[in-house]
């Protein structure tokens, strides 16, 4: 296959450890070098096609090793032949392929594949053959291989050649080239075929266990596990499970449901629950209690009467919510991410997630962002990924509110629109309610589609947004008074990807008793803000010995936060880039839990 780079697995949905399973695989050749197939299998991949031969004289040096080691690791393997019909007869190429791949065309392997592409050096196959001639070449190759092995081959082909050949080929199993797509969207063009079996949805993947000099081709099977097993001709077993919740309070119980499949009979289950009671089980559908806050893994091993064993491990399956005190002031200035007590939704190592940005932020060089919305080759449209806060006690809250800084600029392609959704939970994450939803131009903070951001070379035809200044940010707030009196309150920040552009979040504040601070409460002489009035630039100073970083916030006359910055020295000059007007400032300690000073400031421009 043509080699070119990235995979994202289907998004995790609320209430389960795993969504309905998509059967994913890869196709490889000598370009990938030596592969650690155990790592590939552990990362969630089920099958792999390995290049065996090309033309009538080239054997892939890694083919036998890939077949043997892949099978030993539990992968369902298959062999493919890169055809050169412009140079050789179909019979000669089929016989050469059989001489190398023949021992690996058998039960519990994928069908053999004819890889039919335009010659790498050109011109296209249509320049060499009429559609009838090319169809006849393919049919002869197929019949030669099937007669020798008893197994019907399938064909790998691109949309152009799939439309060029005659419809008499549409009874052959189809592996369609539909790069630059996603594993969950059907291919838009399959030529003369009416259905498809496999789709190559990316030329540019990364997979644990595979390095080599090239990116990885990513594939997906179009059907259920039973249909896959039937095609492969074996009684394979595939471990799979769900849970009734994926986040809950300490002391709660979690119910696990086995969803494993096999064409044989499953005869045994062995579970391992880190942090759970019990910590192991041989029941099919166990119930486990978790006492202590933490993020816990779950492993299931299933045994089939005719297909051996398979195991599945999710390293971040169950979150037992940790407790934290209000107020929350999270500025993402630490190198630790997620912040202590936060929980990132990462069931598999290849999932896209919220990450720590270390190059930009609101009045800093760090924030939280979701870079996979832009710059990734694989289309992740429709994927949802969340990050969760700790558990907060709102029993004594009276004026609860959340506010945060956000920066986003929609893609230049109108259909690529991303959404930021925020949820609250009053039962430690067992159930959720949406409290904020903005996407596309509603989420846009720049007032334009591309002009206010820094465009870099986007890998799917557009640039990636980077906030160029404080004016590209906006402070949004959410009234949380409906949560007052609740003892177990969590929040979730969800990226709903439209494969459009990067969402940035910074300075997330949650309080149970917000004050607009329109008068100087303390009048502390050691904090000075001057000149006042000023023209948009002023100093903050501390007369006492400066011992730690503090934060200064500006609020407008309606109580909305319009500026937020860290103060790292005894005398600091600030340039908030806000409109002329009357503002109220508040100074808090680094952790946001101790008030230092507040007052009024006038900015004249």
Active site residues: 27, 115, 117
Listed residue (465, 361, 360, 359) closest to 408, CA to CA: 465
What values do phi and psi take at 519, rounded to 5? Answer: -135, 160
| Helix, coil or strand: residue 6 | coil
Contact 181, 202 (CB under 8 A): yes
Look up tokens 């002023």; give the residue: 538
Q: Residue for token digits 């389960």?
A: 16
Asked if 235 and 307 touch (Cβ cutoff 8 Å), the reply is yes
Kindly list the distances between the CA atom of residue 354 and the CA atoms of 12, 94, 391, 442, 517, in Å, as whole numbers in the listed order.
14, 49, 19, 21, 33
Contact predicate 239/300, CB 8 Å: yes
**Residue partners of 8: CB distance under 8 A and separation at least 6:** 182, 350, 351, 352, 372, 376, 378, 380, 383
- 450 burial level (CB within 10 Å; 0-12, 13-18, 19+): middle
Task: Provide the 3-class DSSP secondary structure of residue 516.
Answer: coil
CA 215 to chain centre: 18
The CA–CA distances, whole Å, from 398 to 329, 462, 514 equal: 18, 46, 8
> Across-strand partners of 205?
216
DSSP string across 232-280: HTS--EE--EEES-SEE-TTEEEEEEE--EESS-EEEEEEEETTEESSE
* Contact between 359 and 365 (Cβ < 8 Å): yes
- Give the separation between CA 100 and CA 85, rounded to whole angstroms: 19
Rounded alpha-carbon distances, angstroms, from residue 316 to 18, 296, 383: 11, 6, 18
Q: Put the strands of the sheet holding 581-589 in their side by side order.
A: 561-567, 550-555, 581-589, 595-603
Say how many C-beta atoms besides its own lie within 10 A of residue 238's C-beta.
Answer: 22
Residues belonging to the chain: 605
Alpha carbon distances (Å) from 238 to 163, 308, 447, 521, 564: 35, 10, 49, 64, 51
d(CA 579, CA 569): 26
DSSP 527-575: EEEESSSBSS-EEEEESSPP-S-EEEEEE-TTS-EEEEEEE-SSEEEE-
Q: What value, to the nearest 5°, has the Cα angle with vertex 566 and ends 563 and 568?
A: 145
Give the residue among 263, 378, 400 at the shortest CA–CA distance from 326. Answer: 400
């Amino acid at each position: 296959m043509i080699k070119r780079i990235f995979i994202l697995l289907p998004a995790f949905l609320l209430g389960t450890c795993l969504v309905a399973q998509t059967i994913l695989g890869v196709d490889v050749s000598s370009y990938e070098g030596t592969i650690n197939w155990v790592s590939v299998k552990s990362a969630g991949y089920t099958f792999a096609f390995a290049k065996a031969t090309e033309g009538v004289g080239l054997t892939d040096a890694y083919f036998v090793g890939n077949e043997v080691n892949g099978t030993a690791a539990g992968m369902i393997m298959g062999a493919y032949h890169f055809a050169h019909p412009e140079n050789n007869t179909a019979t000669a190429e089929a016989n050469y392929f059989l001489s190398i791949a023949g021992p690996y065309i058998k039960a519990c392997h994928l069908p053999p594949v004819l890889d039919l592409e335009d010659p790498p050096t050109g011109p296209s196959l249509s320049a060499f053959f009429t559609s009838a001639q090319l169809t006849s070449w393919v049919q002869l190759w197929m019949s030669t291989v099937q007669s020798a092995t008893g197994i019907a081959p399938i064909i790998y082909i691109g949309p152009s050649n799939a439309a060029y050949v005659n419809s008499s080929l549409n009874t052959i199993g189809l592996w369609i080239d539909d790069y630059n797509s996603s594993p969950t969207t059907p291919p838009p063009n399959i030529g003369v075929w009416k259905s498809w079996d496999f789709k190559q949805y990316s030329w540019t993947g990364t997979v644990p266990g595979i390095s080599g000099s090239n990116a990885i081709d990513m594939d997906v099977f179009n059907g259920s596990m039973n249909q896959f097993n039937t095609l492969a001709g074996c009684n394979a077993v595939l471990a799979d499970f769900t849970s009734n919740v994926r986040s809950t309070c300490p002391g709660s119980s979690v119910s696990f449901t086995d969803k494993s499949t096999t064409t044989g009979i499953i005869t045994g289950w062995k579970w391992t629950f880190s942090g759970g009671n019990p910590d192991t089980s041989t029941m099919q559908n166990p119930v486990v209690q978790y006492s202590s806050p933490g993020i816990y893994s779950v492993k299931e091993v299933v045994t089939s009467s005719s297909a051996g064993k398979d195991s599945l491990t999710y390293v971040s399956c169950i979150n037992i919510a940790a407790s934290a005190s209000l107020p929350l002031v999270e500025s993402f200035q630490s190198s630790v991410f997620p912040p202590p007590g936060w929980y990132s939704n990462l069931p598999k190592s290849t999932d896209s997630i919220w990450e720590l940005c270390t190059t930009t932020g609101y009045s800093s060089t760090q924030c939280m962002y979701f870079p996979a919305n832009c710059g990734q080759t694989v289309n992740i449209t429709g994927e949802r990924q969340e990050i969760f806060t700790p558990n907060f006690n709102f029993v004594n809250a009276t004026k609860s509110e959340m506010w945060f800084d956000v920066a986003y600029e929609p893609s230049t392609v109108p259909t690529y629109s991303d959404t930021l959704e925020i949820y609250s939970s009053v039962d430690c994450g067992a159930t959720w309610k949406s409290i904020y939803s903005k996407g596309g131009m509603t989420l846009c903070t720049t007032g334009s589609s591309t002009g206010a951001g820094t465009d870099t070379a986007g890998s799917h035809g557009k640039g990636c947004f980077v906030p160029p200044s404080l004016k590209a940010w906006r402070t949004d707030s959410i009234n949380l008074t409906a949560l007052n009196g609740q003892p177990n309150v969590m929040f979730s920040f969800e990226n709903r990807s439209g494969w459009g552009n990067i969402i940035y979040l910074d300075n997330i504040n949650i309080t149970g008793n917000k004050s607009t601070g329109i008068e100087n409460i303390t009048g502390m002489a050691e904090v000075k803000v001057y000149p006042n009035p000023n023209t948009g630039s002023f100093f903050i100073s501390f007369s006492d010995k400066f011992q730690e970083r503090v934060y200064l916030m500006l609020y407008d006359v309606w109580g909305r936060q319009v500026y937020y910055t860290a103060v790292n020295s005894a005398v600091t000059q600030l340039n908030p880039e806000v409109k002329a007007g009357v503002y109220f400032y508040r100074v808090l300690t680094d952790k946001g839990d101790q008030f230092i000073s507040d007052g009024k400031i006038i900015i004249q421009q």
